[in-house]
Structures are given as structure tokens and as C-alpha cells.
Amino acid sequence: MKLLLLLIFITLSLEAKNREITLILPWKHQFQFAGYYVAKELGFYEKAGLNVDIQEFDLGSDVAKDVSTNRYEFGVGHSFLILDKLNKHPNIVFLNAIHQSSPMVFLSKKREDLKSLADIAGKKVMVSKEQIAGASINAMLFSEHVELDSYEVIEPSFNPVDLINGNTDIMTSYTSNEPYTLKQKGVEYTIFDPKDYGYDFYSDILFTTEEMIKETPKDVDSFREASLEGWKYAYEHIDEAIEIILKKYNTQSKTKQALEFEAETLKELAFKDDVNFGDINPIRLNEIATTYRLLDLVHSNSKVDFNSFIHKQSGDFKFDKQSLEIATRDYKYYFENIYFRLFILTFFIVIFVGLYFKSRMERLLKERTAQLELQNRIFDENISSSKTDLYGRITYVSEAFCKLTGYSKEELISKKNTLLKSEHTPKEVYKDLWLTISSGHIWRGEFKNIKKDGSEYWVKAIISPIFNKEKSVIAYESILQDITLKKVLESFNTKLESEVQKQTKELKQLAITDKLTGLYNRVKIDDELISNYNYFKEFNENFSIIILDIDLFKEVNDTHGHQIGDSVLIEMSKLLTQDVRSTDIVGRWGGEEFMIICPKTDLEHAYSLAQNIRKSIEVYNFPRVGNLTISAGISDMLSNSTLDSLVSKADTLLYDAKHSGRNTVKE
């Protein structure tokens, strides 16, 4: 009997025990995850029969993989999860998107040389591989033609101090975090937000796995509902949520003011008009996935049912922007404001019902109609505009468009817009164009078109999608500006600049080159002597010089003439450049004298080099002259106190070699 009672007690205890659940976050504790803290600390999870452990992100973690492999039951991720599901972890399922828009942006100090995304070229950018592969950041850069190899990527520290100290020029950040630090330190900053370029994606997506939904559907629904209630409470009671974070979840030691800034920023991103809090729209998932595909990040081209990405909401949770405003509104102000609005409304109703106002409105309407007709006529005659359907067929063109292209309206209407396409416009331009407008955003750019007569022309274009009442794209409209003359002038200026640079380079080369031999001249040799001497003084690195002279060269000129003498100097120059090392510097010192500067070379090795040169010349048969010899003097820097003494000693040794029988090297 006692054993039976014990078994019953153990069974009841096990049944009463809450289910152990772990939620893994994509970053450290902060207001970004306040709803989960509130649900845990105020008992929402416990009431749902769950014992939830909330774990901070570790830099070695892979949140999507850890949840997919059932290491943790739930996780929070960014829009990268769409790519993870498509490419790596097909079993993950989305529950809710806590923030309808992502706070991830590019952040820089306010600088004259960083006013646009194009200015990023050549700069240091602190961004992780995951972030640069992410759709919003990647698509924003792609839309502005910023290539990955045009800037230096630095592993992120997630510390805005690196931006302040100049360790990086740009860094990825959350609008809810790092800008507050810069603001507190009085540092002006610039934000490059993907939303401003038409790329607005979900953030902080709560997700689990198909296995969890299949095996414990009640736990999944209970956890989601309790989490949403936690978020509802957190946004309706921001001060209370912040106090919970400060007491139990402030691992980053954030101030109350920083958390308030974060909360207000994220609140603006969590709510959209006519969208229930946390809802995920499969159409929007498709748009994000389309962006990934156009960026060549999706491995499979198979058709995807995006409804299967989302676990359908059970229950009647309702929380939207209007509900939040009502819950947090100052009702005293609200009623005062209502009376004021009623007064204004009544005032205008009285005016509107007056017959005088009615007759005046009719007259104004006629005048306005006439003005609009005039404006439309001016637009048609002066603005190059066209419309196409979703398949690129032209449905409307203005008179100005016809003048620009050389076609009549009858020749253009119902034709594909590829009729005007030039093969000289890069494919990347059209790829970027369709990526932008098919996603429901405005594209701005430049490209070449071709006229009816076959001639090409440049246009600056603004192409916009046209929406129906259901906010679906039904057509496209373009405004074109002829910029052919501008492009011609730009091309001319580029060619002119290239030619100037080429001639400048040639002049610089002539300034340091001996005209006869093609070797360095005395000016260049003097510069190299000074450079090697300065290196010697700083690093104590020895160097040597060889001064050599053609023996009996005066007899060559007297016997064969100066023209043959010049040819001998040219041949001698060729022999010298063949025999020296790649690091040695050869130049014409004057007349028939040459100097060789040997960097990082002591006297012994310089002597060996000089002997090899002497022997090579001794056996060489010069045209019309025959065999010639040289004499040389060698000196190194360690044996001399100054540059002048170095050159003087080598010159003296050359003189000694000349007077001791020639065809000799002296050191």
C-alpha cells in the first residue's frame, strides 16, 4: 500500500512539473528581447506550464543550426533565417517576427568623404561575413554598385569606440544601440539604412522546428502565446520592462537611458499600420527570398511554398499599432484633443454646407481641371515618359519620348521595351533594375538605349512600380533624361586625363634617364645615393658603390669618331645591366664613367661583382672596335664617415687602377 501511494505521488509530481524549454538569443541581453524576460519574470511561461531558460548568444554559436539540430527548442534570428531554411536547415519553422523592420544599418562618423554609399570604396568596413551576406546590407550595396573588393573588411568588435578612434570608417550597427553611444559622446554620425534604398526586412524572428510542432504542438503554441503576451506587456509598460532588465538581465551594463533609447527605437520598428504584432506575411517572405536569389545566395531554384515557412497562429491574440497607442495614451490629453477636433469639425461642416462654398468649389474645380490639362500637355511635350506592363510591353509613351527615340507612338505601343535596349549596356545594370522594381521599389540609374535610326544615346532614368489597391505591382512607369552630351564630355575628359598622365609619366622618366645609354642619369644616381645613405643611418645596413671607367676611351673617339664612341657606350650599358643583380642600381656617372650602387652589400661581395663585370667586358668584341677593358674603384659605407667620402674614395681607387696598368679593380 505504501509503495502504491509512493508511485502515485511520484506520478503526480512528474505531471505537475513544468516542461523545460530553452530559448537561444542572437545577441547579448538588452531591450531587443524584453518580451521574453517579461514573460518569464511575470509568470506568463509558468502559467503556460513551461520552465523557460533564456540563453545569451555566444560568439561561437550558430543559432539556426543549434535549433535545427534540437540542441535548443526555440531561437530568435534575423531575415538570414530565410536563407538558412532554403539552403541548410529546411526543418526550421517561423512563429512570429517581433520587429517588422530590421534595425541593422551601416554607421559612420559624419565626414565630408562619406556622404553616400559610393564613398565606401577604399574605406575600412567593420562587418561580419553573415552580415555582408545578408540580404538587406548586401542588396543596399549592390543597388549602389559597391563591390565587395572595393573596400577593406574588418572583423566586427561591435564597439562604437572603434568608430570614434578611427579603427574603422564604417561599421554595422543597430539603430537602437550604437547611435546612442555616439550621441552621448557628442559625435555626429551618418546612417546608411537599407530601408532608404528599398530593402525593408523582418528582424528578430521567433522560430522552432517541424519536429517540435509535430511532437509537442501544445508546448509550441503555449510558448508563442506567452511570449507574445510578454511583448505586449513590455511595450505597454516600457519602464517596468527596463527595470526587469536592469535587475536580472543587464550583462552589458547598459544605463536606463540607453535602454529607453533602444526601447523607443525598436517600438517604431515593431509596428506597421494594419499589421498585427508579430505577424509574418508569406508574400513578404517571397520578396526577401527573391532578393536572395537575385544576389545568387540561394542554392536551389525549385519552387517554394512560403506558407509552409510559417506556423499558423492559434488563438485570438490581437495587438497592433492602434491598440498600443490606446494603451499608452494620456487620456486627459486625449479628451481635450477630442473636444478641439469636434470644434474644428463642426466649424468646417457649417462652412461646407453653405451654398456659397459649394459654388466657389465648383469654380475652383473647373480652374483646377484646366490647369491640370495644361500641365499634362506640357508634361507630354517636354518630359520623356513611358509605361510598360509586367511583361515589359509598352502601354504608353509621351511625345517627348517619341522625339527622343525617333519612333512614333503607333510604332512603340504594344512593343517590348527591349526594342530600345542597347547591347552595350552591362547585364548587371538590367539585373539591378529588375531586382529593384520587381521588389516594389524605385530604381534610379543610367544606361544606353538605341534609336530607330540605330544610333545610341545615354539616358538617366527613374523607373517606378505602379500598384493596385491590394498593393500589388501591376505596371511600371519611367521618366528619362537624355544625358548623351554629358557622357561624351565625360569620356573626352577621361581620355584627356589618361593622356596627360601618360605624358607626365614619360617626362618623369626622361628626367631621370641618360638620353644616350638609357641608364639612370647623374640626377637619379645622386637621389639613390642619398636614399641608401639615409637607410644606412636608420638601420645600419651597409652598401657599396663601384665607379668604373672604359680604358683608353679617348683613342676610340680619336680613331673611329664620336659616333662609334657613342655606340660603344650603348653596348657597355647593355653589358652592365646584364651582369649586375636585380637589386643593383646602374647609372652613367659622366662621360665614359659609370656607377653601380649595391644595396645591402659589403666590400667583399662588391669586389666580386666588379671582377665579374671586368672579365665579362674583357672578352666582349665591340663592333668596329674589338676588345676593350675597364678599370674600377670600390668603396663601402662602413669604411667612410660621409657620402662625399664614400664617392671620393671610390673615385681615388679608380684613379689608382688607371695608373697601375688598367683592366684592374681596386678596393
Identify the pLDDT of residue 2.
Answer: 46
Whether this model's pTM surpasses 0.85: no
Query: What is the per-residue burial (b if ≥16 Cβ within 10 Å, else e) of 510-526?
Result: eebbbeebebbbeebbe
Interval 341-400: pLDDT, tens: 565 566 657 666 666 767 677 777 777 766 666 666 776 778 899 999 988 899 999 998
Tell me if 179 sits within 8 A of 173, measured CB to CB. Answer: yes
Mind listing the pLDDT tens digit for each residue in 277-294?
Answer: 989 999 888 888 888 887
pLDDT of residue 290: 83
Stated as kind and residue range, the H or E segment containing 153 is strand 152-154
Q: Which among 490, 485, 439, 486 has a CA at the least distance from the CA of 463?
A: 439
CA-CA distance, 180 to 522, in Å (whole number)?
61
Active site residue 592: yes
User: Model confidence over 405-419: pLDDT tens digits?
Assistant: 999 989 999 988 888
Q: What is the pLDDT of residue 420?
A: 87
pLDDT for position 363 = 74
C-alpha span between 113 and 190 (Å, rounded): 11
Q: What is the pLDDT of residue 16?
A: 46
Using one digit for the tens of pLDDT, what is the confidence trace for 533-547? Answer: 999 999 999 999 999
CA-CA-CA-CA torsion for 63, 65, 70, 74, nearest 10 degrees? Answer: 30
pLDDT of residue 143: 78
Return d(Cα 285, Cα 151) in angstroms, integer: 30
**Which residues are 546's β-sheet partners?**
596, 634
Q: DSSP letter for 103, please.
A: -
Phi-psi region of 662 (alpha: psi -120 to 50; beta: other; left: phi over 0): left
Least-confidence region, from 139-148, 194-203, 209-218, 615-624:
139-148
What is the model's pLDDT at position 347?
A: 61
Residue 109 in 3-state DSSP? strand
What's residue 314's pLDDT?
A: 63
SS3 447: strand
Integer CA distances (angstroms), 229 to 37, 235, 281, 318, in order:
11, 10, 20, 10
- The per-residue b/e assignment along 106-120, b for 16 or more CB within 10 angstroms, e otherwise, is bbbbeeeebeebebb
- Of 41, 225, 287, 592, the active-site residue reads 592
Model confidence over 145-200: pLDDT tens digits?
A: 888 788 888 888 778 888 888 889 998 888 888 898 889 889 899 999 988 888 88
CA atoms of 155 and 132, how far apart (whole Å): 11
The rounded distance, in Å, linking the Cα atoms of 239 and 3 is 53
How many Å apart are CA 45 and CA 37, to the nearest integer? 10
Query: Tell me: the pLDDT tens digits for 212-256?
Result: 999 999 999 999 999 999 999 999 999 999 999 999 999 999 999
Say what the pLDDT of residue 601 is: 95
The pLDDT of residue 139 is 79
Helical axes 135-143 vs 282-294, angle rounded to 10°: 50
Task: Return the pLDDT at 7.
Answer: 44
Backbone angles phi, psi at 168, to 5 degrees: -145, 155
Query: Across the chain, what does the average pLDDT equal?
Result: 87
What pLDDT is attached to residue 4? 43
On whether the CB atoms of residues 72 and 138 are closer than 8 A, the answer is: no
Structure-block grid coordinates of residue 333: 490629453
The 3-state DSSP class for residue 110 equals coil
pLDDT digits (tens, 9 = 90+) for 291-348: 888 777 888 777 888 888 899 876 678 888 787 878 776 544 444 455 555 655 666 5
Question: β-strand 384-389 against 104-109: which pairing, if any?
Answer: unpaired
What gap in Å lies between CA 593 and CA 222, rounded to an integer? 95
The lowest-confidence range among 37-51, 151-165, 249-263, 594-608 is 151-165
pLDDT 10s digits, 627-666: 999 999 999 999 999 999 999 999 999 999 999 989 999 9
Which tens digits make up the pLDDT trace of 60-91? Answer: 789 999 999 999 999 999 888 988 999 999 99
Residues 205, 100: Cα–Cα separation, whole Å: 9
CA distance 388 to 478: 9
Say yes or no to pLDDT of 270 above 50. yes
> CA 341, 343, 345, 346: dihedral to nearest 10 degrees?
160
Cα–chain center distance at 27: 22
Q: Render 450-504 in DSSP notation, one character per residue.
A: E-TTS-EEEEEEEEEEEE-TTS-EEEEEEEEEE-HHHHHHHHHHHHHHHHHHHHH
Q: 72: Cβ–Cβ under 8 A, 6 or more apart, which residues?
A: 22, 23, 24, 55, 66
* pLDDT at residue 509 in the model: 78
**3-class DSSP state of 580:** coil
